[in-house]
Amino acid sequence: MLRKRGFWIVTLILAALIAGASYFYYTSSVAAETVAEEDEVQTSVARLGEIVVSATGAGTVIAASEVELSFASSGQLTELLVQIGDEVKAGDVLARIDDTDAQQSLVNAQLQLAQAAMQTDASATQTGVSFDDISVEEAQINLELAQADLDDLLNWEADPDEIALAEANLAAAEASYNAARGQEAASSTNISVEAISVDQAERNLADAQAAYDTAYDPGRDWELNDSRHADALEAERERADAALLQAQESLQIANLNYSATVSSVNHSSSTSAQSNLLSAQQALVTAQTGPTEEEIEAAQMSVRQAELALQQVKLNQEANVLSLEQAQLTVESAEEAVEQTTLLAPVDGTVTAVNYSVGESASGTVIVLADLEQPVLEVYLDETDMTMVGLGYEVEVVFDALPEETFTGQVVLIDPQLVNESGITAVRALVELNADSFAKPQTLPVGLNATVEVIGGRTENAVLVPVEALREISTGQYAVFVMENGEPKMRLVTVGLMDFTYAEITSGLEVGEEVTTGIVQTQ
């Protein structure tokens, strides 16, 4: 490691500089004569040469870039198509996981998309009409009908023909109602007659039953043993049997006739006729007087409801469009999930790690790809050499395993933060090797160690003097003592690069001129 150091200054010359320029030249001449008498002045001749300022660090080959590849979700590894060391191209299939669930999700998403499309996209249906189209058209028709009804009420005018028709309808309804009432009255009379017949049949049955009971009275059985009365009793009993049977049958017939008469009466016809009569009366009133305020308000309300219904349908249509877009996004997401069951190489590279085998549940990093085409070194230098490192600086590299070869490169990155390695604070930088400095990149495996020389500055064919010849007048300003006619004369110079031994003079001194470098005491 090379660094700038302070230079020793002859006490006598420093005192002369501090005293002032004119006094300095005076005293320097005197000092030179005194030195000439007592001490020997060392000198050196300015010459052409090369200076290289550098900082040394340790480096390790790393991948230019490294990509850790994983599946979007965990799953059973079904295919593994690469192994460590394989070189792959961008887009190559590296591995696959079980895609059963992802495929099922895609099918479901596609079905939902088809349903959403039928709701709002006419092109998605065989009929060329969507459900939303039908709903909107129905709502518009309902609104038009409601508006037409309202317009009719608001623009109503009496129509003589309508009034005449209403009057005729009313007369017909009244006639129908009266006929129905007359029929009901006749039916009521018939029911009364049949009821009387039933009553008469019931009385006849009672009489026949009494005669029967008398004829079959057990107390008269003795008459059967008396020839004088036996024939008469038997004849009486026969008559009682016949009369009772006839009375029973007559009652049944009377009941049937009554029931038939009652069931034949149609009360609904009069009710219907009355309803028709009321409707005809109302129609006549309407034809004569027009709509009421309540009817107009009801029609206005119907129009408003139809308008709201149409707006609601249109809002539903907008919502269905959003649902369709959401369904499309869901399908895209499901398709992406299916694609993500296949692991593709995003870039060209070399497989440096495979973390799972077929049949295992893969989660996290499955494969690591590295770019080994362009060797890169990770370099660490002492923090005191921080000023010696810059982007684009030239670098010379000697690998521990290849000590006879020197590789070249450039600094491509400097970590803005100092790092601590093994308790030592260091500058971290990345160096990219020049492709023409080696023939086979594969001979530089990752992890290969090297000594790295970062060239902080280089100059060739420069005017050089020993650093002992420099006299620092102020920060960044230097002078030298040039021997003229055997005497040292101070001259301001511009200094370029410096190492421990030599300094580059960019102006103020020519090649071949002799400068002082110090004093050798002889006493």
The whole domain housing 166 covers 160-289
- Quote the pLDDT of residue 356: 93
- Quote the pLDDT of residue 311: 95
Confidence bin at 384 (pLDDT 50/70/90)? confident
Cβ–Cβ under 8 Å, residues 399 and 407: yes
Residues 216 and 280 reside in one and the same domain? yes
Residues 134 and 72 reside in one and the same domain? no
397 Cβ partners below 8 Å, 6+ apart? 59, 377, 406, 407, 408, 409, 431, 433, 450, 451, 452, 453
Residues 268 and 312 reside in one and the same domain? no
Q: Mean pLDDT across the stretch 120-130?
A: 87
Tens digit of each residue's pLDDT (9 = 90 or more) over 60-112: 998 888 899 999 889 999 999 999 989 999 999 999 999 999 999 999 999 99
Tens digit of each residue's pLDDT (9 = 90 or more) over 144-176: 999 999 998 888 888 888 888 878 888 888 888
Residues 256 and 173 reside in one and the same domain? yes
Confidence bin at 372 (pLDDT 50/70/90)? confident
Residues 270 and 183 reside in one and the same domain? yes
Residues 382 and 405 reside in one and the same domain? yes
- Quote the pLDDT of residue 267: 56
Residues 151 and 299 reside in one and the same domain? yes
Residues 71 and 133 reside in one and the same domain? no
pTM value is 0.48
**Would you say residue 1 has pLDDT above 70?**
no
Q: What span, in angstroms and rounded, lies between the C-alpha atoms of 11 and 27?
A: 13
**71 found inside a domain:** yes
Confidence bin at 9 (pLDDT 50/70/90)? very low
Confidence bin at 415 (pLDDT 50/70/90)? very high
**172 found inside a domain:** yes
Q: Mean pLDDT across the stretch 322-351?
A: 93
Residues 135 and 200 reside in one and the same domain? no
Domain count, the chain: 5
What's the chain's average pLDDT?
A: 83
Question: E-assigned strands of 285-401?
Answer: 342-344, 349-354, 361-362, 367-371, 376-382, 394-399
Confidence bin at 266 (pLDDT 50/70/90)? low
Cβ–Cβ under 8 Å, residues 432 and 448: no
Mark which of 455, 471, 488 sits at the end of a domain: 455
**4 found inside a domain:** no
- Quote the pLDDT of residue 15: 30
Residues 172 and 273 reside in one and the same domain? yes
